[in-house]
Structure 1
Amino acid sequence: MKKEGTAVKARWKLLTTAAVLALSTALAGCGGSNGQDAAPSASGNGQQQTKAQDTNDKNFTIRVGAWFLDDRPHMQVFKKAVEEKYKTLYPNAQIQWDVVLGSTYFDKLRAQFASDSAPDVVFYQGQEFAKSGNLEDLSDEPWVSRLTDGAKMDVQSHYNGNTYALPMGMAIGGGVWYNKKIFADLDLQPPKTIDDWMQVNEKVKAAGKVPVTLGFKDSWTASMFLSQWFVSMGFSTDPQYGMKVYNGEIKLADDPAIRNVMETFEKMKKQEHFNKNALSIDWPQSGQMFASGDAAMIMQGAWMPGTNADNIQKGGFEPFDIGFFPLMDDKGNVSIQLSSNEAVGVNAKSKLKKEAKDLVNLITNQEIIAPFNKGEGSLAVLSDVTVQYDYPVLDELVDLVNKSNVIPYRLQNFIPASAHTSLVEAVTKVVSGVKFDPKDLEAAQDNFEKDKATVILP
């Protein structure tokens, strides 16, 4: 990172190019009549792990840890596909899914690694697990050569030049999804600046709808909203923003970009642009509010199109098309953060290391990872995997990626977790109705200075 000015710009350019090419290719076949995933190629993606000679009759249970495998259809399809494919390798094996939904999973995973009781296969986020030696080096696995250029630079699946995990898909960090019918009925256009957004919110509110629904009972939703706004507020105009924070040139306690984000949240709260129960409902409930048409917008990740369609079907709501716009700064500057949301690796101390590697390897099959990418709205990370998406909004996303500055980082990559937590607590306080006090940022600065040594620079 010493020569960040040149090196990072080069990496961003390469990542942007790879992302656009991958997404454009993935969506090229969207015009098909049924929108289903393409059949596996004749070459058989990932077939190294499914050959008959690899079959093993040993009886064992392999544990897989995750935080996101909920009851959404594409998640259930993914689990079933993994189980069925694994049976072709190990007919007598059982997969034990150790799923803890939400952020508490990571606290549990850290404790499990510390006590040598972690699952054999682990889904995770961040770089800490690779740096700490918890994960097996997978650099020699057969799927590594199939990674796209963008995936090869994914910061959480790679560390110190080695590959420690399979990134499950390259995804935007988040943005605002809106109900196109509500916007059309009110003659509204997607906002380009913060002032535009305030005006849109006022018109939505006047029509008796909630402008933006929040499910901040799940703290990760507050973290996502906050961190993605930092991407546009900070990195859009200063590519060195993250390193300047890390080096102490920018202080969290008095950074204009951070204050601007907090003050904008305060303004939106004061003008009733959020749902009144923002802190008492979780993410699924906020999704229901959006699907029902009670709210015009929701800040979420690229899985929103599929999730919304499922919510509409289950709730019996009137269908509608959705659109997307990114978070912006006062002048309309935008940066799109692109990285893997989930990465899957192998416990370095697993007693089923080969079996665990085989499980990760089989996930790279077209028929397993492509439907997962489609459901999540993420880009394929393997050069020989094709994804066909069902939702027109993803065409808009392609156009946006083509036109935007794409970066692989977030502010969290340059500050300790404790400092980011303090920032999340500060914005949660604002959303509760408490006036923003710049002194609330001092806790973030204090934690930054105290725990800076824990930061793993990308």
Structure 2
Amino acid sequence: MRKWIIGLTALSFIITTAGCSNAAKQPVPSNGQAQKQEDRTDEAFTLRVSYWAQDKNGYFDSVEKKFKEKYPKATIRWDKLDEKNFAEVTENQLKSGQAADILFNQKIKEYAKAGYLLDLSDQPWTQRMIDSAKQTVAYKGKTYGAALDVSTFGVYYNKIIFDRLQLQPPKTWDEFMALNAKIKQAGLSPIIGGFKDVWTIQGVYLPIAATSEFLQNPNFELDLYAGKVKIDGPEVNTAMRKFADLAHNGYFNPDALLIGYEESTQQFIDGKGAMQVMGSWTPGVVDSNTSDFKMGFFALPDQNGKTVMAAAPDKQVSINAKTLHPVKAKYLLSLLLDKDMLALYSKNVALSAFKDVIAEYSNPAMKDVQKALQLYPTSINPGHLFTNSANDAINAALNHILSGKVLQNELKEADVNYIKDKATLILD
């Protein structure tokens, strides 16, 4: 269903790039001419925006209406791409000089490195993004776009079970472990897993690893790249030990290795377990299967009650460096990122990557997730800056733990693989 959770999204509402064909046909004006041209509000012009997702809340229409209050003769061309091949189409359009003025994409670092994107470091909205979003849209210390939304990970729980057992969301890791023990004593599975779909293992591991790695060292994965730390060090080993504590104490359902994601979600809905540690698409999935499930959410704390939330930016937006209308494009982008517009965009669809956006959600658990994102620091998904081969070794280690074994040399193997394939990574 999903490949490696770094690429996961709870709710797939995505937008991407296409081409500014006029840029290939018209001569680029001098800086003075461009500035004079862009400052005019009474001229007719066209801006192109490309995307690949459905707009369920009237977001684009609202943005366009506001934009035309300032530029009444403007035309905004919304070019929708196929979500199956948008990345390939976008890249081809950029290479051929046919890309849109405003580009929704998922490869800001790559495109910035290639010189395709406008430097937007001076834009006021840059400081409104959560930490992990800022990291994702930056290259060489400059900001080349914004992330609209994120998927994140944590604990979704059955409020009816919690009320019956008189349980409260834990404030520390020790309280979380004690909570699991009480649920198990009551004859229920504390955490429902569907590990036959191996990607779901990461759903449990990522929120543990984010707090373990990035509280101990906020620059852990960058320091790894610089050769200052190792995967087989205290950061990852602490996360592995906590994951093993859950597995070896029997806090997952007995058939966790035999069932997949859909079956595990149904068990969660049926009340066979109290919690599901998973991504932020969970409320939407549960809502699509039942109307009477009462769900809550909490972020996983460490021993001292601190949390870092793994929050992976999904939909990203940039401006084509070759646009003929940079001032107007920046203004349109500022409207796309306006907090009220983003609240409309996010309503019952997505979690915003901006701290000041308060969206409406019919599921109360989504409100809990949104509050947590605004309250706690965020990080990229653990392993995001690992090589594929290093992540393979991490996955092998997690599978060994679930099968009842203790770790041996899996993390050392991850370090060997990382060094061997390090050249494949693209970092700032």
TM range (shorter): 0.5 to 0.7
1:430 equivalenced with 2:401 (yes/no): yes
Q: How far apart are residue 370 of structure 1 and its match?
A: 1.1
Structure 1: how far apart are the matches of 2:398 and 2:212?
15
Change (3 A) 1:456 1:135: same
Q: How does 1:394-409 map to 2 (within 5 A)?
A: 406-409=377-380
- Count how many residue pairs are aligned between Structure 1 and Structure 2: 375
Structure 1: how far apart are the matches of 2:110 and 2:197?
23
Q: How far apart are residue 290 of structure 1 and its match?
A: 3.3
Q: How far apart are residue 182 of structure 1 and its match?
A: 0.9
After superposition, the C-alpha distances for 1:248-269 in whole angstroms (9 at most, x for unaligned) are 34322x3244234334334433
Q: Could you tell me which of 388, 392, 416 is aligned with 1:446?
A: 416
Structure 1: how far apart are the matches of 2:379 and 2:199?
19
Structure 2: how far apart are the matches of 1:368 and 1:347?
18
Partner of 1:96: 80
* Contact 1:181/1:320 (<8 A) preserved: yes
Structure 1: how far apart are the matches of 2:92 and 2:362?
42
Aligned-partner SS, 1:300? strand
Q: How far apart are residue 302 of structure 1 and its match?
A: 4.5
**Which amino acid counterpart does residue 306 of structure 2 have in structure 1?**
V
* Contact 1:166/1:360 (<8 A) preserved: no
Structure 2: how far apart are the matches of 1:439 and 1:279?
26
Change (3 A) 1:374 1:251: same
1:184 equivalenced with 2:163 (yes/no): yes
* Contact 1:302/1:376 (<8 A) preserved: no
After superposition, the C-alpha distances for 1:162-214 in whole angstroms (9 at most, x for unaligned) are 33222114x58422122222112112232344444333224334444332233
Partner of 1:248: 227
Aligned-partner SS, 1:375? coil
After superposition, the C-alpha distances for 1:226-280 in whole angstroms (9 at most, x for unaligned) are 333222223324445445433434322x324423433433443344422424575
Aligned-partner SS, 1:176? strand
Structure 1: how far apart are the matches of 2:398 and 2:165?
30
- List gaps (5 residues or longer) in structure 1: 1-47, 70-74
Change (3 A) 1:409 1:325: closer
Change (3 A) 1:111 1:194: farther
Change (3 A) 1:324 1:352: farther
Which segment drifts farther, 146-155 or 230-239?
146-155
1:214 equivalenced with 2:185 (yes/no): no
Change (3 A) 1:94 1:167: closer
- List gaps (5 residues or longer) in structure 2: 1-37, 69-73
Change (3 A) 1:411 1:320: closer
Q: How does 1:346-357 map to 2 (within 5 A)?
A: 346=318
* Contact 1:191/1:325 (<8 A) preserved: no
After superposition, the C-alpha distances for 1:126-176 in whole angstroms (9 at most, x for unaligned) are x642454275225289xx33344445970111222433222114x584221
After superposition, the C-alpha distances for 1:418-446 in whole angstroms (9 at most, x for unaligned) are 42343234324533x25243222233112
Partner of 2:210: 231
Structure 2: how far apart are the matches of 1:394 and 1:219?
25
Name the larger-Rg structure.
2
Structure 1: how far apart are the matches of 2:298 and 2:79?
37
Structure 2: how far apart are the matches of 1:437 and 1:417?
20
Q: Could you tell me which of 286, 289, 294 is aligned with 1:320?
A: 294
* Contact 2:184/2:190 (<8 A) preserved: yes
1:341 equivalenced with 2:313 (yes/no): yes
When the two chains are superposed, the root-mean-square deviation of aligned CA atoms in Å is 4.7
TM-score by length of 1: 0.63
Change (3 A) 1:363 1:208: farther
Q: Could you tell me which of 97, 106, 118 is aligned with 1:137?
A: 118
**Which amino acid counterpart does residue 419 of structure 1 have in structure 2?**
A
**Which amino acid counterpart does residue 129 of structure 1 have in structure 2?**
E
* Contact 1:172/1:339 (<8 A) preserved: yes
Q: How far apart are residue 83 of structure 1 and its match?
A: 7.1
**Which amino acid counterpart does residue 293 of structure 1 have in structure 2?**
G
Partner of 2:28: none
Structure 2: how far apart are the matches of 1:289 and 1:97?
37
After superposition, the C-alpha distances for 1:90-109 in whole angstroms (9 at most, x for unaligned) are 58x66434224xxxx8xx94
* Contact 1:137/1:162 (<8 A) preserved: no
Change (3 A) 1:420 1:190: same
1:174 equivalenced with 2:153 (yes/no): yes
Change (3 A) 1:335 1:365: closer
Structure 2: how far apart are the matches of 1:272 and 1:98?
44
After superposition, the C-alpha distances for 1:377-401 in whole angstroms (9 at most, x for unaligned) are 6356387x65455565577668767
Structure 1: how far apart are the matches of 2:336 and 2:183?
43
Q: How does 1:272-287 map to 2 (within 5 A)?
A: 272-275=250-253, 276-277=255-256, 280-282=259-261, 286-287=264-265
